[in-house]
Structure 1
Amino acid sequence: MDLKYIWDDFIDSLRNEPGIAACYAKWTAGIPFLYVETELDRDEVEYLIRKRSARAMRGKRLHSDTIFFRSQPSLYVYRHRFYVPQEKMFCCGNLCVDCVRLKQ
């Protein structure tokens, strides 16, 4: 699964939120950082991030993780990532103890 489409949808929908002046993502050493320029307070920004990331992940087996990193006047920086859960999603036929067929 290519996460570029998920990121593009997420960033575009976050940019269109009222109160968000600008929003962009930068990858530093392979870690995605989300920059949000706004006059809203931190709780409102985090609510919008959760809301828009849930919309971007709808219908896909993904999770998101957002960690506050730093802030400056009217700029919030978060470590935000989308990831696939670390669990088996199919039966490999090796009679594993944690086989997905045994889950109820």
Structure 2
Amino acid sequence: MNNNPVDLFTKRLATAPGRPFERLDRRQFAGVTFLYFFPAEESLRRPLEEFLNREAAKFTENTELRHELGYVRTSRHGLVYRFRLLVPDEKSFCCGNLCPDCIRLRNR
């Protein structure tokens, strides 16, 4: 079983109740994930984006992850979005350079 968070998220979307699309394809180009949505009705971007942001917020709830969703284009392949899950940009180890934000100085 693949535990890639983006794969888990796309599986969750594909089975979510009330989803405003008929089919979802996930493609990756140069390390960037693109989600292709085939809407149930003609080009309903706003309801789809609201649904995606709501589901992504639920998916990342109680984690340090946050999501980034960006509309790319509408094509014959449906609505295309770039999707990323981002981790916090903070140090997780001591490098020994006496940094002012060293992890050793954090309050636990």
* TM-score range relative to shorter protein: 0.7 to 0.9
Give how far 1:74 is off.
7.9
In 2 relative to 1, CA 93–44 (structure 1 residues): closer, same or farther, beyond 3 Å?
Answer: same
Q: With structure 2 as the length reference, what TM-score do the two structures score?
A: 0.73
CA offsets 1:46-86 (integer angstroms, 9 cap, x no match): 11111111222223211211111001368210111112121
Contact 1:9–1:56 (Cα < 8 Å) also in 2: no
Contact 2:36–2:77 (Cα < 8 Å) also in 1: no
Q: Which residue of 1 aligns with 2:9?
A: 10
1:73 and 1:51 map into 2 onto residues whose CA distance is 26
State whether structure 2 residue 44 is matched by structure 1 residue 36. no
Structure 2 matches for 1:1-104, cutoff 5 A? 4=4, 6-17=5-16, 18=18, 19-38=20-39, 39=41, 41-72=44-75, 75-89=78-92, 92=94, 94=96, 95-99=98-102, 101=105
2:87 and 2:73 map into 1 onto residues whose CA distance is 26
2:50 and 2:10 map into 1 onto residues whose CA distance is 15
Q: Match of 2:13, SS?
A: helix
Give how far 1:102 is off.
5.5
Instruction: Compute the RMSD of aligned alpha carbons.
Output: 2.6
Q: With structure 1 as the length reference, what TM-score do the two structures score?
A: 0.76
CA offsets 1:11-40 (integer angstroms, 9 cap, x no match): 122223423201121101211101111126
Provide the identity percentage. 28
Tell me how many residue pairs correspond in the alignment. Answer: 100
Q: Which amino acid aligns with 2:81?
A: Y
| Pair member with larger Rg | 2
Q: Match of 1:27, SS?
A: strand
1:55 and 1:20 map into 2 onto residues whose CA distance is 19
Unaligned runs of 5+ in 1: none
In 2 relative to 1, CA 8–30 (structure 1 residues): closer, same or farther, beyond 3 Å?
Answer: closer
